[in-house]
């Protein structure tokens, strides 16, 4: 098979890995210009200093030995199969890098033959790049559950970031849709990587020349919508993973119906993109806004509200805490005000040491007044625009984006319900 045909098959097969922001750009190189962007296989990630970098996102092989019901690369699917040799993929990566197409590699693979064999092939790719070509670009590699821990450690010494996909949020769902996988088998390499990162922190201090183990940390991915788990179960699992394994990021991937099966959503089911979006927002509250899972959602109301973002939903459920006086409120309380982000809360705390803040000051600081004005006071004064009643506030907070992401029937019915029912829908 020709190399470019392999590239076409294996970049397309990698598109369901949601561990970075995919690029949909089509822009060919121009005369006297540098670089180009092609659709197949390019995605974006972010470096530690905040730069957006372009990665080649590809599978080493899609000839999978497993038969996971939800996966496009499952063994029983009738589709084109291809595999790179380690040398082919390393050379291809270097060619793209030298042409300024990419700045790094995002490498994953189906389980080809056995986990150990697959891991060995991926390790050879990284070894050729790092040791032979002296490639210093960013490399994100997927760990293979079930592989020997020595292979996982070897990968970690050559990669910048590693991830082990937990895939489905519960052992019950794994048993139903991916019977060849076990939750314990997925968590073992995650624990191994976490220990290696922790050990490496001390080693780097003592031995400055020691190779760094996964310096950019580890992440994981969960598929959302293929199984019946609630948002509460998903967020509780995410919080546990952050706490126990020190993950940098949990990625949520809305299930794309690509296979038919009695235990899967129908192939014409729309991907739950709005639900994915709300889970990312809730995850952000856990990671940066000092929220606990049970403050955002609980067993009684186990799913996130699709109409408003999780922080607004929390604020609407706790009217007794608002309005907040921005010139006196604690930093933790400022973080809980809709429209106030981490940076703007830090700027408020810093600026009010010098002078008292007003609404114009907050706008310059970066506070989103469209949301915050219902929940704050400045020097004892409320914003000029006042809305009476929690239901009316909730309706004002519904963004055009939220409405657009809802289905047509839901969007129309939203304006047909009464005020009390609307408020119950929004704050439940």
User: Does one domain contain both 322 and 216?
Assistant: no
pLDDT band, very low/low/confident/very high, at 342 (cuts 50, 70, 90): very high
Range(s) of the domain holding residue 365: 310-427
Residue 97, number of CB atoms within 10 A of its CB: 18
User: Does one domain contain both 366 and 273?
Assistant: no
Beta-carbon-side half-sphere exposure of residue 353 (alpha carbons within 13 Å): 6
Mean pLDDT across the chain, nearest whole number? 84
For 6, 91, 207, 328, the CA distances from 418, given in Å and listed in that order, are 57, 63, 67, 38
- Residue 375 is predicted with a pLDDT of 92
Q: Which whole number is the average pLDDT over 82-88?
A: 96
Dist. CA 369–CA 184, nearest whole Å: 46
- Residue 101 is predicted with a pLDDT of 87
**Which of 121, 181, 185 lies closest to 155 in space, CA to CA?**
121
Q: 414 burial class (0-12, 13-18, 19+ CB within 10 angstroms)? A: middle
Q: Which whole number is the average pLDDT over 244-265?
A: 92
Residues 147/128, Cβ–Cβ less than 8 Å: no
Quote the pTM value: 0.85
- In the numeric block, the tokens 């060619």 are attached to 95
User: Does one domain contain both 234 and 332?
Assistant: no
Is 328 within the bounds of a domain? yes
Is 27 within the bounds of a domain? yes
Is 133 within the bounds of a domain? yes
Is 302 within the bounds of a domain? no
Sign of CA dihedral 178, 183, 188, 193: positive
- Residue 402 is predicted with a pLDDT of 52
Is 113 within the bounds of a domain? yes
Residue ending a domain, choose from 264, 294, 324: 294
- Residue 412 is predicted with a pLDDT of 34
pLDDT band, very low/low/confident/very high, at 1 (cuts 50, 70, 90): confident
Is 305 within the bounds of a domain? no
- In the numeric block, the tokens 């009390």 are attached to 420
User: Does one domain contain both 350 and 252?
Assistant: no
Q: How many domains is the chain partitioned into structurally?
A: 2
Q: Which whole number is the average pLDDT over 230-245?
A: 96
For 161, phi then psi, to 5°, come to -135, 145
- Residue pLDDT, tens place only, 127-173: 999 999 999 999 999 999 999 999 999 999 999 999 999 999 999 99
User: Does one domain contain both 229 and 183?
Assistant: yes
Residue ending a domain, choose from 294, 324, 353: 294
User: Does one domain contain both 251 and 381?
Assistant: no
For 185, 191, 200, the CA distances from 116, given in Å and listed in that order, are 13, 18, 24
Is 303 within the bounds of a domain? no
User: Does one domain contain both 141 and 281?
Assistant: yes
Dist. CA 50–CA 141, nearest whole Å: 20
User: Does one domain contain both 107 and 182?
Assistant: yes
- Range in 166-175, 207-216, 369-378 with the lowest mean pLDDT: 207-216
Q: SS3 of 340, please?
A: coil
The CATH number covering residue 282 comes to 3.20.20.70
User: Does one domain contain both 212 and 325?
Assistant: no
pLDDT at 331 over 50: yes
- Residue pLDDT, tens place only, 13-51: 887 765 554 433 344 444 544 444 444 566 766 665 666
User: Does one domain contain both 138 and 88?
Assistant: yes
The DSSP bridge pattern shows strands 42-46 and 52-59 to be antiparallel
- Residue 410 is predicted with a pLDDT of 42
Residue ending a domain, choose from 294, 323, 347: 294
- In the numeric block, the tokens 């089509």 are attached to 26
User: Does one domain contain both 250 and 321?
Assistant: no
User: Does one domain contain both 405 and 360?
Assistant: yes
Quote the distance between the C-alpha of residue 38 and its chain's center: 23
Is 299 within the bounds of a domain? no
Q: Which whole number is the average pLDDT over 316-344?
A: 94
Q: SS3 of 381, please?
A: strand
């Amino acid at each position: 098979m020709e190399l470019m045909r392999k590239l076409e098959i294996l970049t397309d097969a990698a598109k369901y890995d949601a561990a970075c922001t995919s690029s949909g750009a089509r822009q060919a190189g121009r005369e006297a210009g540098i670089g180009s962007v092609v659709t197949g296989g390019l995605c974006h990630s972010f470096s530690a200093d905040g730069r957006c970098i372009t990665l080649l996102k590809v599978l080493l092989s899609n000839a999978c030995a497993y038969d996971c019901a939800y996966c496009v690369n499952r063994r029983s699917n009738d589709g084109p199969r291809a595999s790179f040799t380690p040398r082919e993929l390393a050379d291809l990566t270097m060619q793209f890098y030298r042409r300024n197409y990419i700045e790094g590699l995002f490498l994953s693979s189906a389980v080809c033959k056995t986990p150990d064999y697959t891991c060995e092939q991926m390790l050879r790719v990284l070894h050729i790049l790092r040791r032979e070509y002296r490639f210093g670009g960013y490399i994100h590699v997927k760990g293979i559950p079930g592989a020997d821990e020595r292979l996982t450690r070897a990968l970690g010494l050559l990669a910048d970031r590693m991830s082990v996909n937990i895939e489905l949020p519960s052992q019950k769902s794994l048993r139903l849709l991916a019977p060849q996988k076990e939750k314990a088998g997925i968590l073992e390499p995650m624990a191994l990587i976490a220990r290696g990162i922790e050990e490496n922190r001390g080693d780097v201090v003592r031995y400055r020349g020691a190779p760094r183990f996964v310096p950019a940390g580890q992440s994981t991915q969960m598929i959302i919508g293929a199984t019946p788990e609630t948002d509460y179960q998903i967020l509780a699992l995410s919080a546990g993973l952050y706490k126990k394994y020190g993950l940098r990021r949990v990625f949520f991937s809305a299930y794309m119906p690509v296979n038919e099966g009695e235990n899967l959503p129908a192939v014409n089911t729309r991907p739950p993109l709005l639900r994915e979006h709300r889970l990312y927002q809730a995850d952000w509250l856990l990671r940066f806004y000092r929220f606990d899972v049970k403050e955002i959602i609980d067993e009684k109301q186990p799913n996130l509200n699709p109409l408003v973002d999780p922080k607004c939903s929390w604020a609407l459920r706790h009217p007794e805490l608002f309005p907040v006086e921005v010139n006196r409120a604690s930093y933790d309380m400022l973080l809980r005000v809709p429209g106030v982000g981490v940076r703007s809360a830090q700027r408020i705390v810093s600026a009010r040491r010098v002078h008292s803040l007003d609404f114009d000051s907050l706008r310059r600081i970066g506070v989103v007044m469209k949301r915050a004005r219902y929940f704050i006071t400045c020097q004892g004064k409320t914003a000029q625009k006042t809305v009476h009643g929690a239901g009316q506030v909730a309706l004002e907070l519904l963004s055009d984006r939220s409405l657009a992401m809802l289905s047509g029937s839901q969007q129309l019915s939203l304006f047909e319900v009464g005020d009390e029912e609307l408020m119950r829908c929004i704050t439940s």
